[in-house]
Amino acid sequence: MEKDIKKAIIPVAGLGTRFLPMSRVLSKDFLPLVDKPVIQYIVEEAKNSGIEEIVFVVNPGQKTILNYFKKDPDLEKLLTKRKKEALLKEYKNFEEMIKGLTFSFAVQKEPLGDGHALLQAATKVKGAPVAVSFGDDVVDSEEPALSQLINIFKTCSAPVVALKRLPAEKLPAYGVVAVEKIASNLYKIKKIIEKPELGQAPSDLVIVGKYVLTPEVFGYLKKAKPTKKGEVILAEVFDKMLQEGKTIYGYELKGEWLECGDKQKWLKSFLYFALKDPRFKDELKSYLKTIK
């Protein structure tokens, strides 16, 4: 199995119902974190992890995402003509970020689970190991989160799942793993418990929406029995693999996990980045002190 991972799947086909009514016209992937949409953070992380080809899994109504990551010569000419040097610099930085990346898309016609979304991109990755990053999770870290997972994969040649620790009271809202510790931050996953009852979680390690998947995982996804709702769920496929003696690793990511899956989490993530940004942090901190 090849060890270099150059392709990533980014599923963005969700309906974003938690962000209604805004998500009727704006895909949640384009919600801003300061002055960049969430999806740009995800793509930047992939690029900085050595990814060269990105496959977006979209729903039939999404058209914005590929347009966003295209060069716009007319905009560049306009900014140059109007001598908007600061804005032109920002745009050129964006162009530099997408340089060397190729983008394509697969369509998920119905929201039939995260595993089903990944299956739509299977033909695009052509039997190679692939990185996966869902659009709800941004990780602020010195080493990009996907890079951390890819480095583990290069050693173990098995699927790798991103993990983070959470307080006990938050665990019932997440997929929690039972693990065997292998090394610092590295674990063998023994079982995945989806949304355990309070006090029943097997650990305080929960699954973050970032993975390295092997071709074998896609084989299991293709054979997976849908749930009563007709969904193919990645966590259930992992559990099936574990039951059959397959090895799946979990890696506790280094860095700050910023969730964007609902309004409150997104607002907290927005504030996190805004209060870190040297352009805005001092003024914002002063302003916040005036709010009663």
Res. 2: pLDDT tops 80? no
The reply to whether 217 falls in a domain is yes
Q: Is residue 64 part of a domain?
A: yes
Query: Would 245 be classed as within a structural domain?
Result: yes
Work out how many domains the chain is built from and give that number. 1
Q: Is residue 184 part of a domain?
A: yes
Residues written for the chain = 292
Q: 63-92: per-residue pLDDT in tens?
A: 788 889 988 888 888 888 888 888 888 888
Q: At what angle do helices 38-48 and 145-156 cross, to 10 degrees?
A: 40
106, pLDDT greater than 90: yes
Task: Give dist(CA 152, CA 142) in Å, integer.
Answer: 16
Neighbouring C-beta atoms of residue 20, cutoff 10 Å: 10
| Position 193 pLDDT exceeds 90 | yes
The boundaries of the domain holding residue 185 are 7-290
CATH number of the domain within which 183 lies: 3.90.550.10
248 located within any domain: yes
Higher pLDDT pick, 87 / 188 = 188
For residue 1, is it within any domain?
A: no
CA distances 137 to 69, 80, 200, 207, 226, Å, are: 19, 35, 25, 11, 25
pLDDT of residue 286: 95
Residue 2 belongs to a domain: no
